[in-house]
Amino acid sequence: MGLVQEGIADMRTRKLLGIIAVVVAVTMMNACKPALAGEIWAKDSSGHTVVTYLIGDTVYVKGVGLKEGQMYRISIVEDDGTQIGPGDPIPTGAILTKLVGPIGSNKKLELTPIWGPPLTPGYCDMFADCIGDGVEGKYDPGIDAKDEELTINPTAGFHVIPETSLGTIGIVLAGFTALFIRRKSDF
């Protein structure tokens, strides 16, 4: 072999070894990752994320990263102003608790109605506690899921507001306007 051919073969070997090293490094990084936390979100019937509901609305839930084949207890609780972390107890005193599942092989909780009218006004958090794995009642981010972070109130997952009677207010204003116009025309 000539000097040039040996140099080309050496460069190819180095490239191949470099590619193998990158593949091994990426594989090892993925194998050593901690379990990702499951996530759930309050949604509307179209699957859009919603952070504010009226008392006449229906709250739906959707989730990802849940444990295949397991049942989950979905709890909606009043937000108490704190956030829970790994090992913390999932808040009790639920406004609503409902079992869902089993979770399919895609590890998703498909869009599911969870809470129908009338909703209780206030800031709320939602938790998904795995029934068949982990410690029930304690938050485990590798198995359980939560929706408790919101921009309106930093620790609430969503907010239910009382409905204002805009129709009633409009009718009253229209009545006063008609009364005022009628009195003005009498003069």
pLDDT in tens, 59-85: 999 999 999 999 999 999 998 888 888
CA distance 81 to 31: 36
177 in helix, strand or coil? helix
Residues 12, 89 within the same domain: no
Residues 19, 42 within the same domain: no
pLDDT in tens, 32-48: 444 456 899 999 999 99
What is the tally of structural domains in the chain?
Answer: 2
10 in helix, strand or coil? helix
CA distance 104 to 72: 12
CB 79, CB 155: distance < 8 Å: yes
Residues 16, 107 within the same domain: no
**Cα atoms in the Cβ-side hemisphere of radius 13 Å centred on 129:** 23
Residues 21, 6 within the same domain: yes
Q: What is the mean pLDDT of the chain?
A: 79
Residues 63, 117 within the same domain: yes
Structural domain boundaries enclosing 79? 38-161
CA distance 80 to 21: 49
Residues 69, 10 within the same domain: no
